Structure 1
Amino acid sequence: MTDILDPVAGAVGTELLSAADLTLIEGWNATGHPVPTATLPELVQASAAAHPDRPAVRYHDVRLSYAELNERANRLARVLLRGGARRGDIVAMVLPRSVDYIVGALAVVKTGAAYLPVDTGYPVDRITQVLDDARPTQVLTVAALADSVHSAARLVVLDDEATRQELAAADPGDPGDADRLAPLTPDNPAYVLYTSGSTGRPKGVVVAHRSITNRLHHMQSEIPLGAGDRLLQKTPAGFDVTVREVFWPLIAGAEIVVADPDGHRDPAYLAETISAESITVCHFVPSGLKVFLQEPEAAGCTSLRHVVCGGEALPAELQAWFASVLKARLLNVYGPTEAAVDVSSMFCPPKPDPGPVLIGRPVWNTRLYVLDDQRRQLPPGVLGELFLAGVQVAEGYLGRPELTAERFVEDPFVPGERMYRTGDLARWRADGMMEFFGRIDHQVKIRGFRVELDEIESAVLREPEVGQAAVIVREDIPGDQRLVAYLVPAAGAVPHPERLRERLARELPDYMVPSAFVQLAELPLTPNEKLDRTALPRPGAAAERTGRAPSSLAELLLVGLFARFLDLPEQGIEVTDSFFDLGGNSLLATQVIGEIRRSTGIRLRLTQAFRTPTVEALAAQLA
Structure 2
Amino acid sequence: METLQMSVVDGVARAVRDHPDRDALRTVDTTISYRRFGELVEDVAHRIEAGTVPGEFVGIQADRGAGAIVAMVGAMRAGRPFVFVDRRDSEASNSEKLRLLGVRVLARPGAGDDPVRLTEVPDRWRCADAAPTDLPFAAGELCYAIQTSGSTGKPKCVLVRTAPLAAVIRDHVDRLGISPGDTTLQFARLTFDGCITEILWTLTAGARLVVLDEAYLAPGPVLQNTLERFGVTHLKTTPFALTVTEPTTAMSLKHVINGGGACRPAVLRRWSTVASFHNAYGLTETTVCNLITDPLDADDCAESVPLGELVGDCDYQIRDLDDPAATATRGELVITGNSVAAGYLTERGVQPFGTPGETAAYHTGDVVEARAGRLYYVERRDRQVKVRGYRLDPGEIESAVCRLPEVRDAVVVAETHDGADAADLAALVCYYQGDADARAVRRHLEGQLDPYKIPSVFTRVEVFPHTRNGKVDRDALQAGRLAAAETGGPTAPATDAGQEVLRLVRTLTGVEDVGPNDNFFDVGGDSASAVVLVTRLKELGWVDVGVRDVLRAEDLRALTDRLPERSV
Note whether the superposition's TM-score is higher than 0.5.
yes
Residues 1:370 and 1:149: Cα distance change in structure 2 (over 3 Å): farther
Task: Show the counterpart of 1:313.
Answer: 262
Question: What amino acid is aligned across from residue 194 of structure 2 in structure 1?
Answer: V
Task: Show the counterpart of 2:407.
Answer: none
Contact 2:279 2:305 in 1 (8 A): no
Contact 1:306 1:330 in 2 (8 A): yes
1:341-356 mapped onto 2 (5 Å cutoff) = 341-347=288-294, 348-356=296-304
> What is the deviation of 1:391?
2.3
Partner SS, residue 303 of structure 1:
coil
> What is the deviation of 1:273?
2.1
Structure 1 residue 128 and structure 2 residue 95: aligned? yes
Which of 326, 334, 346 is matched with 1:387 structurally? 334
Which of 37, 59, 71 is matched with 1:92 structurally? 59
Question: What amino acid is aligned across from residue 318 of structure 1 in structure 2?
Answer: V
Residues 1:47 and 1:34: Cα distance change in structure 2 (over 3 Å): closer
Contact 1:108 1:114 in 2 (8 A): yes
Partner SS, residue 236 of structure 2:
strand
Residues 1:245 and 1:428: Cα distance change in structure 2 (over 3 Å): same
Partner SS, residue 369 of structure 1:
strand
Which of 315, 319, 323 is matched with 1:367 structurally? 315
Task: Show the counterpart of 1:299.
Answer: 248
Contact 1:369 1:377 in 2 (8 A): no
Question: CA separation in 2, counterparts of 1:67 and 1:342?
Answer: 30
> What is the deviation of 1:332?
0.5
Structure 1 residue 426 and structure 2 residue 394: aligned? no
Q: For structure 2, which runs of at least 5 residues remain unmatched after alignment?
A: 112-116, 129-136, 385-393, 396-425, 435-465, 489-509, 513-568
Question: CA separation in 1, counterparts of 2:177 and 2:471?
Answer: 36
Q: Give the TM-score normalised by the residue count of structure 2.
A: 0.63
Which of 379, 384, 398 is matched with 1:438 structurally? 379
Question: What amino acid is aligned across from residue 243 of structure 2 in structure 1?
Answer: K
Identical counterparts, % of pairs: 24
Structure 1 residue 539 and structure 2 residue 539: aligned? no
> What is the deviation of 1:353?
3.2
Contact 2:265 2:301 in 1 (8 A): yes
Contact 1:356 1:437 in 2 (8 A): no
Task: Show the counterpart of 1:477.
Answer: 431
Question: What amino acid is aligned across from residue 50 of structure 2 in structure 1?
Answer: R
Question: What amino acid is aligned across from residue 150 of structure 1 in structure 2?
Answer: R
Question: What amino acid is aligned across from residue 226 of structure 2 in structure 1?
Answer: T
Structure 1 residue 265 and structure 2 residue 265: aligned? no
Structure 1 residue 78 and structure 2 residue 50: aligned? no
Partner SS, residue 146 of structure 2:
strand
Question: CA separation in 1, counterparts of 2:3 and 2:336?
Answer: 17
Residues 1:72 and 1:360: Cα distance change in structure 2 (over 3 Å): same
Question: CA separation in 2, counterparts of 1:245 and 1:61?
Answer: 21
Residues 131-180 of structure 1: CA deviation (Å, up to 9, x unaligned) = 344332322224899998732279xxxxxxxxxxxxxxxxxxxxxxxxxx
Q: Give the TM-score normalised by the residue count of structure 1.
A: 0.58
Partner SS, residue 392 of structure 1:
coil
1:103-142 mapped onto 2 (5 Å cutoff) = 103-142=70-109
Residues 1:365 and 1:510: Cα distance change in structure 2 (over 3 Å): closer
1:3-18 mapped onto 2 (5 Å cutoff) = none
Residues 7-48 of structure 1: CA deviation (Å, up to 9, x unaligned) = xxxxxxxxxxxxxxxxxxxxxxxxxx9943243322211221
Contact 1:124 1:148 in 2 (8 A): no
Question: What amino acid is aligned across from residue 151 of structure 1 in structure 2?
Answer: W
Partner SS, residue 280 of structure 2:
strand
Residues 316-347 of structure 1: CA deviation (Å, up to 9, x unaligned) = 22212323xx4200111000111111101113
Q: Which has the higher contact order (CA 8 A, sep 6+)?
A: 1
Partner SS, residue 283 of structure 2:
coil
Structure 1 residue 55 and structure 2 residue 23: aligned? yes
Question: What amino acid is aligned across from residue 53 of structure 1 in structure 2?
Answer: D
> Which entry has the higher C-alpha Rg, 1 or 2?
2
Partner SS, residue 67 of structure 2:
helix
Which of 4, 12, 16 is matched with 1:44 structurally? 12
Residues 74-94 of structure 1: CA deviation (Å, up to 9, x unaligned) = 2122222222x2332211212
Partner SS, residue 143 of structure 2:
strand
Residues 1:254 and 1:332: Cα distance change in structure 2 (over 3 Å): same
Root-mean-square deviation (CA), in Å?
4.0
Structure 1 residue 212 and structure 2 residue 212: aligned? no
Partner SS, residue 217 of structure 1:
helix
Question: What amino acid is aligned across from residue 319 of structure 2 in structure 1?
Answer: L
Residues 1:285 and 1:393: Cα distance change in structure 2 (over 3 Å): same
Contact 1:130 1:202 in 2 (8 A): no
Question: CA separation in 2, counterparts of 1:153 and 1:46?
Answer: 40
Question: CA separation in 1, counterparts of 2:194 and 2:429?
Answer: 26
Residues 1:271 and 1:203: Cα distance change in structure 2 (over 3 Å): same
Question: CA separation in 2, counterparts of 1:247 and 1:35?
Answer: 16
Question: CA separation in 2, counterparts of 1:202 and 1:96?
Answer: 21
Which of 236, 240, 243 is matched with 2:193 structurally? 240
Task: Show the counterpart of 1:252.
Answer: 205
1:608-623 mapped onto 2 (5 Å cutoff) = none
Task: Show the counterpart of 2:518.
Answer: none
Task: Show the counterpart of 2:176.
Answer: 223
Structure 1 residue 398 and structure 2 residue 336: aligned? no
Contact 1:516 1:539 in 2 (8 A): no
Residues 1:308 and 1:513: Cα distance change in structure 2 (over 3 Å): closer
Residues 109-134 of structure 1: CA deviation (Å, up to 9, x unaligned) = 12211111233443444433433443
